[in-house]
Every structure is written in structure tokens, then in C-alpha cells.
Amino acid sequence: MGIDFGSLSGRALLVDTSTGAEMADSMHSYAHGLIEETLPGTTEKLPPDWTLQHPQDYIDVLEQTIPDVIRKAGIDESDIIGVGVDFTACTILPIKKDGTPLCFLPEYKENPHAYVKLWKHHAAQDQANRLNEIAHRRGEHFLERYDGKISSEWLFPKVMQIIEEAPEIYDAADRFIEASDWIVMVLTGKETRNSCTAGYKGMWSKNEGFPSDDFFKSLHPKMEYVVDDKFSRTILPIGEKAGEITVKAAKLTGLAAGTAVAVGNVDAHVAVPACGITREGQLLMIMGTSTCHILLGTKEEHVPGMCGIVEDGVMPGFFGYEAGQSCVGDLFDWFIRTCVPEAYVIDAKAKGKNIHHYLREKAAGQKPGESGLLALDWWNGNRSILAETDLTGMLLGMTLSTKPEEIYRALIEATAYGTRKIIETFETNRVPIHELFACGGIASKDPFMMQIYADVTNREIRISDSAQTVALGSAMFGAVAAGKANGGYDSIFEAAKIMSKLKAIVYKPDPEAVRVYDRLFMEYVLLHDYFGREQNNVMKRLKTIKKETSKTINLKMKVIDSINMLPFP
Amino acid sequence: MGIDFGSLSGRALLVDTSTGAEMADSMHSYAHGLIEETLPGTTEKLPPDWTLQHPQDYIDVLEQTIPDVIRKAGIDESDIIGVGVDFTACTILPIKKDGTPLCFLPEYKENPHAYVKLWKHHAAQDQANRLNEIAHRRGEHFLERYDGKISSEWLFPKVMQIIEEAPEIYDAADRFIEASDWIVMVLTGKETRNSCTAGYKGMWSKNEGFPSDDFFKSLHPKMEYVVDDKFSRTILPIGEKAGEITVKAAKLTGLAAGTAVAVGNVDAHVAVPACGITREGQLLMIMGTSTCHILLGTKEEHVPGMCGIVEDGVMPGFFGYEAGQSCVGDLFDWFIRTCVPEAYVIDAKAKGKNIHHYLREKAAGQKPGESGLLALDWWNGNRSILAETDLTGMLLGMTLSTKPEEIYRALIEATAYGTRKIIETFETNRVPIHELFACGGIASKDPFMMQIYADVTNREIRISDSAQTVALGSAMFGAVAAGKANGGYDSIFEAAKIMSKLKAIVYKPDPEAVRVYDRLFMEYVLLHDYFGREQNNVMKRLKTIKKETSKTINLKMKVIDSINMLPFP
């Protein structure tokens, strides 16, 4: 069984270990959802950029979905040989030694720092800036694995925010723990730590461990022994068994006590074996509102703009590279929300078509390069390879006959150029990429876009055949935790051979389209470097002007009040 | 009386010479409109880029509108002391010596070259390219007055097209004449030529006359004596009297025979005195689908990117400078057509608001710089100052929260930056600009946009108070043709003092907005030069790719046919 915890809901999926067939699944939405305005039961407003969650929601997922899946599948609970868990990351909470979240205790339930800080809690930016500055000044070697920058979304900036803003929570917490590891603790009664979150979010590496106590002391005097006091230096590699279902957890979930539980994992990374990826040079794109790229390599190379490089972080024995594009599905949603004329909406409705579908059909009638348009896909900044949140979108080539579907296609192409730029950056840094794989909503539902990606990258693309690739990946790790002797597998590589699922279709590059896209990509790269590499910092300067005018100027168009605005034309 | 011939209709306006009061007007649409597909009575398709008109439509305007105005005003025809005529330009036709258009003759009525070539007939581009190339090779001095480039819209490329494609028409034509001069000929029975069209469209200057016979010979052997054979070297300055209404014209129009008629003029240029512009440094913006800028100067200076510099071309005794922005109202119409979401249209309807008005209200709530957006207004190329039709539009600064009204405002601002760039180019070339004036649909109906123009240019803007500024200007020239002794004026300067009309409102720059726009304009200039001055010719290269792929590649997304496209998300 795989249990997948997303940002708004969790789900359980039961998989037949001998075939990979998905037997039953169940989903449960978090009652508290994203806590961004006020804590439950209080009226005090949270500051901007906060995103919390309530750990009870995760317990509810276990309690609701697992029995539901067992019932639906009509099997005996003893037939379930292992459980794997994946979670969003870095999603952390402060707990007592026995695993009780601090926010469950009456004395802390009105303290926002006692709750789960979700991955997209962005209120620790000051702390992240300070951490980066200090680490650079000290010449900390670990920075290289993160391309010189620790994100405010990650572990230690979040811990720093707690120590600075709520020292009583810092003191009261026996442990800070990733939600993935906490769920494993709920199930097994044992605290374990996994190499994936520790590596990608916690500045840990297999070779070097955590940064030195001296470094942590330089962040905050009280943090000198933070690793030993609040974490653990024992990090289990992905693919290990964490423990077994306790009697208490068996009551909660309906699973049999003694069932094997895998070490925790991250929702994106766990998709890798579910797509059958087991070798170096196979890049997985997890495509949704944004795209996460994961690649296996056999050596640790410094690749500019990567989010992280972690040994054993994705598949044991490999270096897992992670990269990302911060705006993919979100960009198309913005376009639909902002730029689709009424006539199209009416026509789509009349034809009974979803507007995305309608636009794609129109855009599919165009040839590559025919619109004369080119975009930079930076509506939400550029994660890889520029790692610059203050970059913004750009579109050029418009004429008076430019149509909405041409802009739509140009935006899709821009995200494909962004992917190609990431691929080329890996390759110029001695990390080869031979094949592409994709999973997620876009990959399974948009063949038009996938064909453009194949043409732009000049590479074949294979698509996950599971609607729940991530949960399937967790189930595979569950089978590995159980082991071959118990009907599972002795390694994730073995499990991937049998249980992974790909669609029959392979998107193959069309040589004529490739030739046109090669020329367009050269133009993309020119503009990418012009706007992204400090040749013209206009995007950042416009953001500065935007911030300043929003704050300081109270301009009002007096003339608007004094004249009746006549309609025209 | 002023008679104004536009692209789709003509109108007559009767004005009281003692006050400028507009007493009556009448409009008549051309029965044949724009002839772009087939000639009247034929089925043969015209080639691409052709735009013809039928001269009978112009006669109909005289016959319909003038009696209508006299009737509406309830005056005696003898009270009308003078008539002025303005026309689109360069709009030319081949005629016999007596003024009969060749297309009126049965033997030529199926020959498209016998008709009027409207200003926007764009099929003489090859000829224009050749003319420019030869003139450059010969080091022809006249090129300087046109910033090195004769447009395909102008006189001699159009004549070259006739001599090359229809030599029989060239031979049969006793004269080629501007439609403005032809209407004056219809009214007065005399052939005259005006300094405005001769200067701006016919490569003529007061000082140097036409280019040499030798130059014309180098264009085509048969064109050596084209000026003497088909034109005239007698060019009357703007503000002169051309002649008087003939008995025949009196019958056609209901005007009294002997009424004074001014020499022909151009529709944009004639607006200058109607706005009370009589001094150097006063720039008029005629704002519609595109913007035409006209400025009086006291010296002939070479100003890069200008459309033309003509002594006596606008007001006698001054050098008239013309510049232009090829995409203004058209850009906002493109935006409305292409980028306004259904929700806005529904909301605007519910509130009973025109969508332009609705967007302007939303955009007026923003502060300068607040959107973080910046655009280059080149959707239809850049006329001044880059004179490059293959440039295209650009928009940058978009984020996932960018709203349609922010884009709308950014486009308005971009056209204002374009105007400021023109103003600064005049000034750096020793042609000062002290005051701005505006007329046309946008100027009178969009105070929001005019305030942005005042803020961006840091100059006061005054607005014509006539809904028919152009016809008013022609009426003023009619009053000057009549002369003071007959109740008119002895000069257009005198007429402008009394008959011109400006609104009470003056748009004054807001110092705080000016400060922000100064910074944004610096960014505009950087991008203007980067994309417009050969630093990165991406726009032209994209147009090349566009042309090539449209022609040569027949790509089809095979995968689209083979997979059912599921809607998402």
C-alpha cells in the first residue's frame, strides 16, 4: 500500500505486487486545508506568507482511507505486506519525544509556531537570506550541492524562524521532524529520518553529514547542537525498512500489526521507480502547476541552477539530481483566466468543449514558428537554471493579427524551451540525459503539449500509465520494505521492473519540427541570457519600481473625476 | 466650407468665419468603399496588398453633402465665401487632360491600374525598394528629407508600378494627380498642385524642386520626363487660392459659381491651424487607429525617423515635420478583440459600460509602475523613429497575478513612450517642442489616456474642441482662399486666431507620476534600442522563420489524431 500526502488531501492506494495492478484507492481531503488566515478556533490573523497545516488532518487520512481501501479491495488486511509513505517536503512540525505534535497540547494550541509549516510557508525568507549570507562568508562547502542557495522553504530557515519568533516552542519541542517521518513514526512508533528530505531539504549529505555545530552556532547561539538536540544523525537511505505497524497503529488503520513500513519519502521523488526509471540518464518530469525534474546520476557533479544533489536521495546507489520550473500548469491557467476572449468561451461552450481542449485544438493547427511569437516562461520567476524569483514573464513577436491560440502555444513552447535549457545544462556539466519520462496531470492529459516537448527537446518521451504515479511509487517502497521473502521485493530496482507502468505511446520528435525549434530555441537562449544573466536587469528594476510605487506614491488621476469618460470608439 | 475625404467616407462642414462655430455638416459613405477583392462589375481577383477606390464616390460626396449642408444651415449659397478640400494621401489616379479619370472610359474600366490607388495600396513595395536602392546608390540628396526611405505608399513607387504592370495606362494618362488636387480640378476646372502632397509624398521641395530627369530615367527609361509629361513643376503653397467654382461645378454642388476654392490639402496636416497651431515648437498628434505627428519648425533639420520635412507643407513660411506611430487605436482594439476575458465582458454588460470604458476605469485605479509591466508598441512595426515595418510587439513583467487592465494600461503607456521617443528625437536634433496638441477620436474621448501622455511626456496637452477638426481646418483654408475683402481672412494665421477651437481642459503633468514615468521610460529606451537598433534582431528573425515555415513545412501533429485529448485540469 502507498500512502501519498499532498498539499490539500491524502490518498491510499493498494497495488498487486506481482503485477503492479492498482486494486483500490481512497482519498480524504484535509479538514483544515491550508491554514493561511487564522488558526483554528482563533481570530488573530496570521502574518503574510504563512502557510500552516493541522497534523490531525494527516491522522484522519490514515484513519479514513486505509480501511476504505481494504474494504473496497475485499481483501484481508494480512494480505497487505508493506506500506510506503510519501509527503510534500519540506513540511515540518515540532513534536514531543513520543511523537505528540506540540499543537495537540492545550498550552500551545494557540501558538502558530506549534503547527505544521507546509512546504510553501514563505515567512522564513529573512532567515534564509541570513543563513545563505553566513554560509557564503564561511565558505561552507555544502552550499555547492544546492547551487549556492538554501531556499526559505527548507528545513533550517524554518527552524530559525521558530527559534527567533517563538523560542518557547523551540525549547518545548523535543524534535523537529518532516511530516513524512512523523507519519512513519505514527505507524511504527519509532523515530526514523530519511535520506531524501534530509538531503534535499536539510543540508545533509551521505558523505559529509550535516554542517558543523560551529556553523549552526553562527546562525544562532542556541542552535549549536541543534542536530543532536532536535534531529538525528542517523539517516536511513531510501528503500530501507523503517519498522512495523504497531498495535496502536493497527487499531487506527485496520492494517495488521507487524506489517512492514518503509522509510518516509517525498511525493515527487517517489514517482521515479513508478515510471520504471532505474538507470542514469533517465530524466523524470513531474508536470503539474509547476514541473519538478528528477534525474539519476552516477557521480556528484556541480550543475548550475539545480535544487539539490543527494546521494541515495531518490534511488539507492545513485546521486539524485533535482531541478524545477516554477510555472507550468499555472501559466496556462493564468492565460485561461486572463487572456481568452468571450467569443472563444462562447464557441467552446457551443461545441461542448473544455476551454483548454478548445485552445489546444486551435493551436494544434499551427506549425512551429508560424505565429512569430516567442516567450520567456518566467511568470513565477525562474527556478532552474537561474534560481531567481524576481524574474518575470516576457512575450514578443505580436502583430495586429496575433490570435489567442498563438499566444497559448507560445507559452507551452516557452515551458518546453525552459526544460530544454535544463537538459542542456545537465549535459554541459557532464550529467548525460538519454531519455525523458513524464507523469502528472499534464503528461497524461495533454498529448499536444507532450509532442511539443518531444520536438523541442529532440528526445523521446514516455508517460506514466498510472493516474496515481506517486502513490504507486510509495506502494513499491512498501513492497521493498516487506522484502522478497514476504511476497515483496528485495530492492526497489526489482520492484520497478514488475510494478512500474508506462503508456504504450511514445512521443517521438518530428525531424522537421526539430529543425524549426532548434532555431527558435537559439532565440530563446539569447533572450534567456539577456534578461536572466544581468545583461539587462529590467525585470528586477520593474519589480523595484512596483514595490516603491505601491508603497510611497498616492497618485490619483484627478482628471478622471472631473471629466465624464465617453465611450469610444 | 470644408470638405474632408477620408478612407471610407467624405463629409462637408459649414463654419461661421467670424466665430468658428460649426453650422451644419453632412456625411456620405463611399458606395464602393475599399476595392480590395475585385473591380466593380468583374470577378477577377485583385492581387494581395491592393487597395483601390472609385472616383465616382468622391463626386457623389460633392453632390450629396454640399447641398445637404446648405439646406440644413438654411443659408443662401452666396453666403458661402470659400471652400477648402482635404484628402487622404498619397491617393492618386490617372486622368485625361480634361480631368476625366481613365476608369470612367469604357476601354479602361476593367483595368485595375485605371482606378484610384488609395494611400494604403501596398502593392508597390518592389518598386519602392528599387527606387530607394537606386537613389542611395546615386547619393540623391532628396532622401535626407525622408530619413533615407521613400515609402511604397507614396507617389513615384505607385507610378512605377503602373509603368511596369500597365504601360498602356501610363501612356493613356495625360496626368497622374493626387485626389485632393483632382477634386479641386473638378470644382475649379483648373489643374493645380499643392505643396503638401508634392512635398510629403512626391519627393518635391520648394528649394530643390523634383529630383532630376536623370534620376527618373534611372528608375525607368520611359520616366525620364515624367514630371513634365505627367505632372507639373508649378506647385502652389498651402493657403493659396486654386481657383473658383465653375458653372458646371455649381450645378453639381449647389455652390455659387465664382466661389473661391483653396489648393488641396492632406487630412492630417489641415488639422494644424484648426487646433490654433501657428508657431514653431507646437506638436499636433492626430490620434486614431494610428497617430500622425505634425510639428512646425523654422529650419530644415535632418531628424532621424521622420516621414518627411516640407517647407510650406503645413503652414506657409514654416517647415512642416511629419512623424508617425503606426499602431495606436489599432493596438487597443487588438487587445479588446484578443485578450479580454469573458468575466470582464459580462461584468461590463451588467454595469451597462462600453468595454473600453470599463477597462479604463479599472486601469485608472492603478498607479504608474504598479503593474511592473512594460511594452514596446510595435504590433504594426515602428514608423518613427526606427522606420522598420518588421518590428513586432513585446510585453514583459508578467506574473501570475497580472490582470488584463494592467496589460491594457501598459499598452497605452507604451504608445505614450513611443510619442516621447519621437519628441526627444526632434529635440536632440535641434527642433524644439514646447507644447502638445491632440485631436482625433482618442484625444477627445479618452481623458485617462491623455493624462498618461501628459505624465509620460512631462508636457501640457491641449485638445481640439471640434468633433471634425480636419473639416474645420479645410473650411479655414477656404476662408483664406476667399480673402479678407470677401469676409474671409488674408492668411491662415489670421483664420486660426478666430476659427480654431480648443477644449477648456488642459492635461497637466503630475510631478509624482512624471518621476516614475521617467524611470520607466529609461527602461523603454533600453529595450527600444536593444530590439530596434540591431543589437538583437530576434523580431526580424522570427518573421523570417514565420514566412519560411508558413511556406515550406507541412507539419501535422500526428499524435493529436491518434489520441483522444482529455480535458484538463
User: Is residue B396's pLDDT more than 80?
Assistant: yes
Query: What are B482-516's pLDDT values in tens digits?
Result: 999 999 999 999 999 999 999 999 999 999 999 99
Q: Which of A379, A404, A505 sits opposite B399 (nearest CB)?
A: A379
Residue B275 has pLDDT above 60, yes or no: yes
Average pLDDT for chain A: 94
Q: What was the pLDDT predicted at A560?
A: 45
CB A477 within 8 A of CB A492: yes
Give the pLDDT confidence score for residue B561 in this predicted structure.
Answer: 42
Q: Summarize the confidence of residues B298-327 as an average pLDDT.
A: 93
Q: Which of B397, B403, B446 faces A392 most closely, judged by CB atoms?
A: B397
Distance linking the first and last C-alpha atoms of chain A:
64
Mean pLDDT of B342-356: 95
Question: What is the C-alpha separation between B112 and B95, in angstroms, rounded?
Answer: 14
Q: What number is the average pLDDT over the span B472-485?
A: 98
Tens of pLDDT, residues B139-158: 999 999 998 999 999 999 99
- Judged by CB atoms closer than 8 Å, whether chains meet at A379 and B398 is answered as yes
Interchain pair B567, A327: CB under 8 A: no
A569: pLDDT strictly greater than 80: no
Return the pLDDT at A388: 87
Cα of A338 to nearest chain B Cα, Å: 6
Q: Is 60 exceeded by the pLDDT of residue B563?
A: no
On average, the pLDDT of chain B sits at: 94
Tally C-beta pairs within 8 A across A and B.
276
pLDDT tens, position by position, B448-465: 999 999 999 999 999 999
Mutate to test the interface with A, among B327, B338, B353, B518 (most CBs of A within 10 A): B338
What's A205's DSSP letter? B
- Strand spans (E) along B152-268: 175-178, 241-244, 260-262, 265-266
CB contact under 8 A, A369 and B548: yes
Task: Choose the closest CB to A523 out of B356, B373, B541.
Answer: B541
CA distance A273 to chain B (A): 25
Can you read off the three cell numbers belonging to residue B368? Answer: 504608474
pLDDT, residue B41, reads 87
Cα nearest neighbour of B397 on chain A = A392
Closest CB to A560 among B376, B447, B553: B447
A 10 A CB-CB count for A280 gives: 17
Name the one residue in this structure whose C-alpha cell is 489616456.
B449
* CB-based contact, A509 to chain B, within 8 Å: no
Chain A residues closer than 8 Å to B533 by CB: none
Q: What is the C-alpha separation between B18 and B495, in angstroms, rounded? A: 9
Which among B441, B512, B565 has the least Cβ separation from residue A569? B441
Whether the per-residue pLDDT at B401 is higher than 80: the answer is: yes
Q: Is A265 helix (H, G, I), strand (E, B) or coil?
A: strand
Rounded to an integer, what distance in angstroms lies between the CA atom of residue A336 and that of residue A230?
Answer: 46
User: Taking CB atoms and an 8 Å limit, are A393 and B398 in contact across chains?
Assistant: yes
Give the gap in angstroms from C-alpha A379 to the nearest C-alpha of chain B: 4
- What percent of chain A is modeled with pLDDT above 90? 91
Mutation site, A287, A367, A544, interface B, largest B CB count within 10 A: A367
User: Out of B397, B516, B526, whose CB is closest to A549?
Assistant: B516
Measured in Å, how far apart are chain B's first and last C-alpha atoms?
A: 64
pLDDT of residue A212: 97
For residue B552, name the pLDDT band (cuts at 50, 70, 90). Answer: low
What integer pLDDT is reported at residue B49 of this predicted model? Answer: 87
H or E element in which residue B183 lies: helix B179-188
CB-nearest partner of B370 from A333, A516, A546 = A546
| pLDDT mean over B43-69 | 95
| Nearest by CB: A356 against B367, B396, B567 | B567
Would you say residue B562 has pLDDT above 90?
Answer: no
B190: confidence class by pLDDT, cuts 50, 70, 90: very high
Taking phi over 0 as left and psi of -120 to 50 as alpha, with beta for the rest, A16 belongs to beta
> If contacts are CB pairs under 8 Å, which of residues 214-243 in chain B contact chain A?
none
Q: What is the pLDDT of residues A185-202, one digit of tens each?
A: 999 999 999 999 999 999
Say yes or no for a CB contact (<8 Å) between B398 and A404: no
Say if residue B64's pLDDT is above 90.
yes
- Residues from chain A contacting residue B534 (CB–CB below 8 Å): none
- Percent of chain B exceeding pLDDT 90 equals 91
Q: A243 forms bridges with which residues in the sheet? A: A261
Chain B residue with CA closest to A404: the answer is B338
ipTM of predicted assembly, 2 dp: 0.89
Percent share of chain A, pLDDT over 70 = 97
Give the per-residue pLDDT at B244: 98
Residue A449 forms contact with B (CB below 8 Å)? no
A560: nearest CB among B364, B404, B550:
B364
Q: What's the whole-number mean pLDDT along residues B422-435?
A: 95
A448 shares contact with chain B (CB less than 8 Å): yes
Decide if A538 touches B, using CB distance below 8 A. Answer: yes
User: Tens digits of per-residue pLDDT, A390-433?
Assistant: 899 999 999 999 999 999 999 999 999 999 999 999 999 999 99
Query: Which chain B residue has its CA at the smallest distance from A382's CA?
Result: B399
pLDDT digits (tens, 9 = 90+) for B213-253: 999 999 999 999 999 999 999 999 999 999 999 999 999 99
Report pLDDT digits (tens) over A240-298.
Answer: 999 999 999 999 999 999 999 999 999 999 999 999 999 999 999 999 889 999 999 99
Answer whether residue A565 shows pLDDT above 70.
no
**CB contact A31 to B (< 8 Å):** no
**pLDDT one-digit tens code per residue, A478-495:** 999 999 999 999 999 999
In chain B, count H helices and then E strands: 21, 20
Q: Is A149 on the interface with B (CB under 8 A)?
A: no
Cβ–Cβ below 8 Å for B447 and A523: no
Q: What angle is formed at CA A330 by the lines to CA A327 and CA A332, rounded to 5 degrees?
A: 105
Does the structure show a pLDDT above 60 at A554?
A: no
Residues A102-106 have a mean pLDDT of: 97
Residue B554 predicted with pLDDT over 80: no
Which residue reads 493529436 in cell numbers?
A: B560
User: Is B469 in a helix, a strand, or coil?
Assistant: helix
Interface probe, candidates A542, A544, A547, A558, chain B, greatest B C-beta count within 10 A: A542
- CB neighbour list of residue B449: distance below 8 Å, 6 or more residues apart: B360, B412, B416, B442
Averaged pLDDT, A148-165: 95
Tell me the shortest Cα–Cα distance from A410 to chain B, in angstroms. 12
- Does the beta carbon of B372 lie under 8 angstroms from any beta carbon of chain A? yes
Q: State the smallest CA–CA distance between residue B314 and chain A in angstroms.
A: 28
Half-sphere exposure of B450 (CA within 13 A, CB side): 31
Query: Is B357 within 8 Å of chain A by CB?
Result: yes
Query: A262, A240 in Cβ contact below 8 A?
Result: yes
Mean pLDDT calculated for residue range A314-329? 94
Query: How sure is the predictor about B557, in pLDDT bands with cuts at 50, 70 and 90?
Result: low
Give chain A positions within 8 Å (CB) of B358: none
Look at B340 and A337 and tell me if their CB atoms are within 8 Å.
Answer: no
- pLDDT (0 to 100) of residue B389: 85
Residue B568 confidence (pLDDT) above 60: no
Name, in order, each residue with C-beta under 8 angstroms of A252's C-beta and a sequence gap of 6 or more.
A59, A62, A63, A186
Q: Structure pTM?
A: 0.90
Q: Is the pLDDT of residue A67 over 70?
A: yes
Searching chain A, which residue's CA lies closest to the CA of residue B393?
A: A398
B527 to A538: CB separation less than 8 angstroms, yes or no: yes
Average pLDDT of the segment spanning A224-238: 96
- CB of A504 within 8 Å of any CB in chain B? no
What DSSP assignment string belongs to B262-311?
A: EPPEETTTTHHHHTT--STTEEEEEESSSEEEEEEESS----TT-SEEEE
**CA atoms within 13 Å, Cβ hemisphere of A545:** 26
A400 contact residues in B (CB cutoff 8 A) = 327, 330-331, 334, 379-380
How confident is residue A203, by pLDDT bands cut at 50, 70 and 90? very high
Residue A567 banded pLDDT, cuts 50, 70, 90: very low
CA proximity to B501, closest of B439, B443, B447, B454: B439
d(CA A94, CA A99): 9
Rg over CA atoms, chain A: 25
**With contacts defined as CB-CB under 8 Å, which chain B residues touch A542?**
369, 372-374, 396-397, 520, 523
Residue listed under C-alpha cell 521610460: B521
Residue A559 has pLDDT above 50, yes or no: no
Is residue A558 predicted with pLDDT exceeding 80?
Answer: no
Q: Which comes out higher in pLDDT, residue A393 or B45?
A: A393
Question: Are B379 and A400 within 8 A, CB to CB?
Answer: yes
Query: Given B339, B507, B568, which is nearest A341 (Cβ)?
Result: B339
Instruction: Check CB contact of B264 with chain A, cutoff 8 Å.
Output: no
**Residue B444 near residue B470, CB atoms below 8 Å:** no
The yes-or-no verdict on residue A561 having pLDDT over 80 is no
Nine-digit cell string for B9: 467616407
